[in-house]
């Protein structure tokens, strides 16, 4: 859960012992080093111009990554809210059969996510999640190796396959409702929709191809596609029931991010989060649980990256805000979804400002995102006198109000 430019610089930290060394050193690309070596062995005259190119203030890669993160949260929020509304329509059809003719036909006609598959986070699970994340981070730090990285890549491919399949099925069942509603019993798997069965080979092939060619220069595209699909799917399965749980989860995540980026060097002599994210102990191959975009106009090269946690955890809050607004029949400006989304965009923007101000040094994105999102929602709720409702009631489907036709006043 950090955001930084993936740069490798020859620097010393403030706590390192200074050595008065006057030998000049230079870092070259492998191709340039090979050319220099061949020239020297051929007894050619070689001249080296030593200079330090300046970096651009804002790279277009950072802008694109910002748009990807905000767009992912917006898509997940609307998908989550629409799924919740359709589930309520299906409940109405079961409890009030006389309204079945007035309920939208698309509700329940195609493959939907069952409420049994939805996980509501509670306070205890929010705290345990952060503790387990810390334990897993330490496991990666102490035991990271090439084989461990391959295990993570395999797990990412499996998760990306599931996420990509879920997203495509949910999208295409709008145009192919019969294929989405037709189920086939598959040995060892169970009942699977015809649409999912047709899409599985494509999604599997995409995941496998990325895993094989993940080190190529263009592999970041496939990684981002699989990562976004996985994030969208997780945000449909995991939900926040109210602001109380959200406050506990994001506050713990805030402390987690700050500790492992800024405070961990006090105990481990290096930032545990940054070491794990860069893959320093796995031959430089970074963990795949992040979105990355190459820095197009940076002479130093590298990638701008953002961890899944910097999108998932705030995304849970933004999704909750949209469901709450639909539940409470709030307009766009008088609700909380718009302002939490603006807060996320602002927090991520401030992260990149700090990133450039610190010359590429790793930044805990949640340090800026949590106050801008959770702080905004809490402040608005207190100012409007609705904090108690946000804190305890949340987005319960039972709060939906419908008229005699079975439709919400917002329809």
Per-residue pLDDT tens over the stretch 116-158: 578 888 999 999 999 999 999 999 888 888 888 889 999 999 9
The count of structural domains within the chain is 1
**Whether pTM exceeds 0.85:** no
How far apart CA 89 and CA 98 sit, in angstroms, is: 13
| Active-site residue, 283 included | no
**Does 3 map to a domain?**
no
The Cα–Cα gap between 29 and 286 comes to 19
Residue 109 lies in a domain: yes
One of 59, 310, 325, 395 is an active-site residue; which one?
Answer: 310
pLDDT, residue 3, reads 55
Q: How far apart are CA 303 and CA 311, in angstroms?
A: 18
In a domain, 5, yes or no: no
Phi, psi of 145 (to 5 degrees): -155, 180
Return the percentage of the chain with pLDDT > 90, whole number: 42
- pLDDT tens per residue across span 261-312: 889 888 888 888 888 877 776 666 788 999 999 988 777 778 888 999 999 9
Give the integer Cα–Cα distance in Å for 223 and 282.
18
Is 159 among the domain residues?
A: yes
pLDDT at site 402: 39
**pLDDT-wise least confident of 15-19, 130-134, 314-318, 388-392:** 15-19
Res 54 pLDDT > 80: no
Within a domain: 107? yes
- How far apart are the C-alpha atoms of 376 and 368, rounded to whole Å? 12
Note down the domain range covering 223.
Answer: 25-396
20 belongs to a structural domain: no
Whether 300 maps to a domain, the answer reads yes
Residue 15 lies in a domain: no
User: Which of the following is catalytic: 59, 224, 257, 298?
Assistant: 257
Q: Does pLDDT of 201 surpass 60?
A: yes
> 149-191, pLDDT tens digit by residue?
889 999 999 999 999 999 999 889 888 888 878 888 878 777 8
Under the banding of pLDDT at 50, 70 and 90, the label for residue 109 is: very low
Query: Each residue of 324-356: b (16+ CB within 10 Å) or e?
Result: bbbbbebeeeebbbbbbbebbbbbbbbbbebbb
Is 257 among the residues known to form the active site? yes
| Percentage of the chain modeled with pLDDT above 70 | 79
């Amino acid at each position: 859960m950090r955001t930084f430019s993936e740069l490798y610089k020859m620097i010393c930290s403030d706590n390192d012992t200074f050595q008065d060394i006057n030998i000049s050193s230079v870092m070259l690309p492998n191709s340039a080093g090979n050319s220099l070596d061949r020239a020297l062995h051929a007894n050619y005259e070689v001249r080296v111009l030593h200079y330090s190119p300046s970096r651009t203030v804002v790279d277009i890669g950072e802008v694109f990554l910002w748009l990807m993160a905000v767009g992912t949260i917006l898509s997940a929020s609307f998908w989550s809210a629409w799924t919740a509304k359709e589930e309520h329509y299906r409940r109405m059809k079961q409890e009030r059969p006389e309204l079945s003719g007035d309920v939208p036909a698309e509700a329940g006609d195609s493959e939907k996510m069952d409420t049994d598959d939805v996980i509501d986070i509670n306070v205890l699970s929010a705290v345990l999640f952060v503790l387990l994340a810390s334990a897993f981070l330490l496991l990666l730090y102490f035991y990271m190796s090439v084989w461990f990285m391959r295990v993570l890549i395999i797990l990412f491919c499996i998760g990306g396959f599931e996420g990509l399949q879920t997203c495509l099925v949910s999208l295409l069942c709008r145009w192919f409702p019969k294929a989405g509603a037709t189920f086939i019993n598959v040995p060892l798997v169970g009942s699977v929709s015809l649409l999912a069965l047709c899409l599985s080979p494509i999604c599997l092939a995409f995941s496998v191809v990325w895993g094989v060619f993940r080190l190529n220069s263009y592999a970041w595209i496939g990684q981002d596609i699989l990562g976004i699909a996985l994030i969208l799917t997780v945000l449909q399965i995991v939900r926040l029931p109210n602001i109380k749980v959200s406050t506990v989860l994001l506050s713990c995540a805030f402390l987690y991010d700050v500790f492992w980026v800024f405070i961990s060097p006090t105990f481990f002599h290096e930032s545990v989060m940054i070491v794990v994210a860069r893959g320093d102990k796995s031959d430089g191959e970074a963990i795949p649980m992040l979105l990355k975009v190459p820095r197009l106009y940076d002479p130093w090269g590298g990638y701008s990256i953002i961890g899944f946690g910097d999108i998932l955890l705030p995304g849970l809050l933004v999704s909750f805000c949209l469901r709450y607004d639909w539940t409470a029949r709030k307009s766009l400006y008088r609700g909380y979804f718009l302002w939490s989304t603006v807060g996320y965009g602002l927090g991520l923007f401030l992260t990149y400002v700090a990133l450039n101000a610190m010359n590429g040094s790793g930044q805990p994105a949640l340090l800026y995102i949590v106050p801008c999102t959770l702080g905004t929602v809490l402040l608005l709720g207190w100012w409007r006198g609705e904090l108690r409702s946000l804190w305890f009631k949340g987005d319960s489907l039972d709060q939906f109000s419908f008229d005699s036709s079975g439709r919400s006043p917002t329809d």
